[in-house]
């Protein structure tokens, strides 16, 4: 009888640990995934799959200080996979482009200047691989090496994606100026 009670207590503790884990990371990861997926439901799927993978493989994390980049890597890869699947021409033709939300919630008291809106629109047009490196490196502040590790690419590939993204963003912003 005591063994059954112990198992129930352990199960309840595991459930509480899962809930705390998800509550701590979900919103930030969802905003990150939306930058890559551009679709709320796809981003939610990416975070769900990523958190499931992370929870199952949590014993492989060697250093707790690396939890955030480890989670970011898992979610960015899932978001990239989901985004690539949605890129067929038929899906793009039939699906409206959803609004992208930024990782940090905007200040509701501030109006968005037209250049910010133009930048947001240009960012939405970037391919998922470029959106991922821009979000991780330029927005979240990861180094090129850390960004490369998170997205699973070589440093030079990340630099190339950043260069191409910057060129495209500059071109789009110049075209949008009155």
Q: How do residues 124-171 score in pLDDT, each as one tens digit?
A: 888 989 999 998 888 888 889 999 998 899 999 999 999 999 999 888
- Residue 161 has what pLDDT? 94
Contact (Cβ atoms closer than 8 angstroms) between residue 103 and residue 117: no
How many residues can be counted in the chain? 178
- Give the DSSP per-residue string, 98-113: PPPPPSSPP-TTSPPP
Whole-prediction pTM: 0.60
Structure confidence at residue 121 (pLDDT): 83
Number of CB atoms found within 10 A of residue 29's CB: 28
Task: Report the pLDDT value the prediction gives residue 148, as an integer from 0 to 100.
Answer: 93
The residue to which tokens 């969802």 are assigned: 30
pLDDT digits (tens, 9 = 90+) for 81-103: 887 776 554 444 444 454 545 55
């Amino acid at each position: 009888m005591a063994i059954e009670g112990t198992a129930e207590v352990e199960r309840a503790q595991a459930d509480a640990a899962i809930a705390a884990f998800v509550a701590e990371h979900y919103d930030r990861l969802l905003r990150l995934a939306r930058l890559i997926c551009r679709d709320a439901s796809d981003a939610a799927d990416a975070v769900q799959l990523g958190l499931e993978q992370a929870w199952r493989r949590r014993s492989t994390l060697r250093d707790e200080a690396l939890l955030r980049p480890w989670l970011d890597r898992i979610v960015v890869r899932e978001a990239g996979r989901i985004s690539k699947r949605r890129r067929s021409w038929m899906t793009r033709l039939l699906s409206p482009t959803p609004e992208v939300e930024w990782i940090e919630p905007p200040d509701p008291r501030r109006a968005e200047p037209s250049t910010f809106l133009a930048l947001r629109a240009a960012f939405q047009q970037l391919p998922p691989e470029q959106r991922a490196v821009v979000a991780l490196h330029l927005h979240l502040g990861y180094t090129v090496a850390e960004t490369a590790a998170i997205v699973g690419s070589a440093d030079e590939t990340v630099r190339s994606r950043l260069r191409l993204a910057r060129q495209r963003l500059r071109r789009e912003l110049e075209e949008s100026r009155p």
